[in-house]
Structure 1
């Protein structure tokens, strides 16, 4: 956390209102996101109790599992969830545009550009909190290996046809959410805390109601008091006025309302199954229907406040202009979505339970590279974020006081630029610094400090000046210009090439096993 964020938290504590830590929005927001508010059963990980899902603010679809221990009811819930999510995902799969991608020519081994299809847009799922993202990943892992009746007619509990497909998509969204800067699957609490700082801890910020209480607190009111009410205020029946942002439930709700309602539902099912004549069966059916409606009303009462809070968070985020590099990161999300669409269409198997060594190393390298790229792009897009990097000595801004034209041995221009700054950059001998020039990074080399105080820095510009003997117009800062240089690179370099999975060295598990290997023959040396 930067010094700017620490300062913003202190100001929020003093003023009682959330303070902005960004001047632009650093994540892409779809024009039509799919909001998912899940609810799980206490004490049983991955057992869904219900959910609100939809793209319309005023018309969410309520999905409920009346008895979470019933496998058939749980599969029915997953089927209805697939009916809501898959059409939304498929709606982005058909609209494509032509794009170029670099691929390796199998004959020459050189990188060539080929024209491929790229989805014009991609779906976006928004859940209330970080725990919702983990629930999506857990659902995907538990669903993608399910066997349907068509795949395995002898399966003891075949899954509905769309359940494994939904599991593959949820797994992809969950994996993509681990890539810094990705926007396919987002948690509203993470979105808000990226752009506002509150006077509470990061753990307390995961309560969406409390977080919005800080952001929406009117002038003259205390965000801390409003957050306390959102976290702990209860009605006359002892129920929270602002339920937690899912997927967990409140113990008072479980014990006083939900458990008795499920017991009544179970008794009604048993009575209906034991009914002997049509008249009695009609009465038992009405009793069962009433029990179902009661559970539906309870689940909706816990999820609807969170549903409304997610949309209020979207309203707050839409007041910020989008950052300049957000579109580039969304394009990478579109590539990811298109690639997974193609894998599903080609009939490839679902994602494995465990990655092999090469795949795991590639994922780790990708996440590290994207994290460094995200940090750089956010600083370039947002002066408030750049201020934090300047305080850390990773950038400096100042006025150009002198420009002296110089040349290297090959008669190429290497002008010397003197920048007077109030920042304190940490520059080693011949250290490289960078500035954004027409969206491209221009490199300079640290030469010396002009005075003992270090308030003036002399730099030698190295590139982006054209091919002529004289620098192109605007490629070299002029006297009086105000410029910002960074010690971190704007574009991240790729790491070393990894071997193919079939060539994995023995130190990392060797090639993937294709079958059971025969054990070594027993010899006399194996016996003591």
Structure 2
């Protein structure tokens, strides 16, 4: 937990109301999302009991497995679920746009939009992952055939579950984490996992949250008391009342999910959210085309090289997402200012036309003086960036005491045009309030990984031959 989030939690306790920890929305909220609330049978590994799905708050569709231990009933449920959600996924794989690549020398295709799935909590994401793994390898013929949509559903659920691991992705979101990214409550992190209590803190305060704590669960697990007292007798008797009971159980969570979406939409969207959604559209386009071309299901587990490459992509995405959130949101950037990774000040001197001719050819290198009263924990030679001019680098030339603060001399490069005269507005002017930070959106190149056939047998490569033993 960050320092400012801890402070916000303390303020929430004192005031009885949740406190904002973001000034903008850091995720994409689709105009037409798919809301999916899974419910599993307790004590059974990945045995679905029901799901409430739909595309509008006024139209919840309930799917029920009357006998969760019965294989045929489970796969009938999977088939029914696939018939509801696959047309939604496929509806986005139609109109595409040309995206320039290779500095405009070529183009590639990207679908104009992508689907978005919402579940109540992280456990819902894990349930979809297990559901995908249990269905994507099924066959539609042979000894135990399944309906045609079932293995395809499994592949799509696996795709969305994998995307949920990518920091900043908005293809599969859960309401608990989305709310926690923007508000801090006065309860513990474990209590925040209860969607009803978390939402009540944000909408109405602590008293409402206490009342919501005993409300219906948000899935996928059911309450043990409910299982023993209500659910077990209905399943054993194959009671026709089961759907009505489950609908009553899930409807409060359904209504809270749509309130969550409405609440998030009230926040102004962060500037860099759109570029991350473009990356999501790229991922969706690539997978949709892969499926259309008859690609194989995702493997049960990655090989050593594929796992290492995926880990690096996730690490790069996490670093990029942290920087983008800070650049979009002053409240997030304030945390870095407290840690000494950023400081704010006023430009007191500026030489926008300075040219450095000490090298082989003259280059534009303006210098500015920034006076700050904040702690400066960087050394001369450090490269800094300003969120207001992310393409421009500012090298620390010197740091000197000045009254109650410090004067920091910065030399600028990049983001000023290609001439020896800076473009208007590209160099901070005297009197401008400026924030600079060690954070950077600079491209992070991928690592070089060996071909899987070139790895040792311990990492999936070929076994040693007789001559190597």
Q: Scaled by the length of structure 2, what TM-score is found?
A: 0.94
1:447 aligns with 2:397: yes
- Distance (Å, rounded) in 2 between the aligned partners of 1:53 and 1:374: 30
- The equivalent of 1:276 in structure 2 is none
Aligned to 1:196: 183
- 1:180 equivalent to 2:128? Answer no
Conserved 8 A contact 1:369-1:492: no
**Contact 1:100 1:114 (C-alpha < 8 Å) held by counterparts:** yes
Which of 110, 124, 145 is 1:118 aligned to? 110
For residue 37 of structure 2, give the secondary structure of its aligned residue in structure 1. Answer: strand
1:477 to 423, 428, 440: 428
Partner of 1:248: 221
Q: Distance in 2 between matches of 1:366 and 1:35?
A: 28
Q: Which among 340, 344, 350 is matched to residue 287 of structure 2?
A: 340
1:221-252 Cα offsets, whole Å, 9 max, x none, are xx3332222113xxxxxxxxx21111111111
CA drift at 1:507: 7.4
Find runs of 4+ consecutive structure 1 residues off by over 6 angstroms. Answer: none
Label 1:403 to 1:100 Cα distance change in 2 as closer, same or farther (>3 A).
closer
| 407 and 114 in structure 1: CA distance in 2 versus 1, 3 angstrom threshold | closer
Report matched runs for 1:202-213 at 5 Å: 202-213=189-200
1:225 maps to 2:207: yes
Counterpart Cα distance in 1 of 2:105 and 2:45: 46
C-alpha displacement of 1:116: 2.4
What pairs with 1:235-314 in structure 2 (closer than 5 Å)? Answer: 242-265=215-238, 291-292=239-240, 294-314=241-261
Q: How many residues align?
A: 463
Matched, 1:38 2:38: yes
In structure 2, the residue matched to 1:92 is 92
- Is 1:461 matched with 2:412? yes
Q: Give the equivalent residue in structure 1 for 2:68.
A: 68
**For residues 158-194 of structure 1, what are the alpha-carbon distances to aligned partners after superposition, in whole Å with 9 as ceiling and x for unaligned?**
1111100000000000001000000000000010000
Give CA deviations for 1:317-352 in whole Å, capped at 9, x if unaligned. 010011110010000000100111111111111000
Deviation at 1:216, TM superposition (A): 0.9
Corresponding residue of 2:321: 374
Distance 1:436 1:507, change over 3 A: farther
SS in 2 for 1:67: coil
Could you tell me which residue of structure 2 aligns to residue 12 of structure 1?
12
**Alignment partner, residue 341 of structure 2:** 394
Deviation of residue 492 (structure 1)? 3.6
Report the CA distance between 1:463 and its aligned residue.
2.4
For residues 413-435 of structure 1, give each alpha carbon's deviation from its aligned partner in whole angstroms, at most 9, with x where no partner exists. 32221111122132023111011
C-alpha displacement of 1:518: 10
Partners of 2:45 and 2:443 in 1: CA distance = 39
Instruction: Work out which of the residue numbers 147, 152, 155 in structure 2 matches 1:165.
Output: 152
Gaps of 5+ in 1: 103-110, 218-222, 233-241, 266-290, 524-528
Query: Does the residue aligned with 2:295 lie in a helix, a strand or coil?
Result: coil
The CA deviation at 1:412 is 2.2
Equivalent-residue separation in structure 1 for 2:124 and 2:67 (angstroms): 21
**Which whole-Å deviations, capped at 9, do the CAs of 1:75-121 have from their partners, x for residues lacking one?**
1100000011101001101121222344xxxxxxxx98532221100
Partner of 1:146: 138
Question: Which of 405, 414, 419 lines up with 2:370 in the alignment?
Answer: 419
TM-score, normalization: structure 1? 0.84
In 2, Cα distance between the equivalents of 1:14 and 1:425? Answer: 33
- What are the superposed Cα offsets for residues 481-528 of structure 1, whole Å, 9 maximum, x if unpaired? 1111111112341132323334x42276253x6xxx79969x9xxxxx
Deviations 1:287-344 (A, max 9, x none): xxxx22x110111121111101101111110100111100100000001001111111
Structure-2 residue corresponding to 1:79: 79
1:407 aligned residue (349, 355, 362): 355
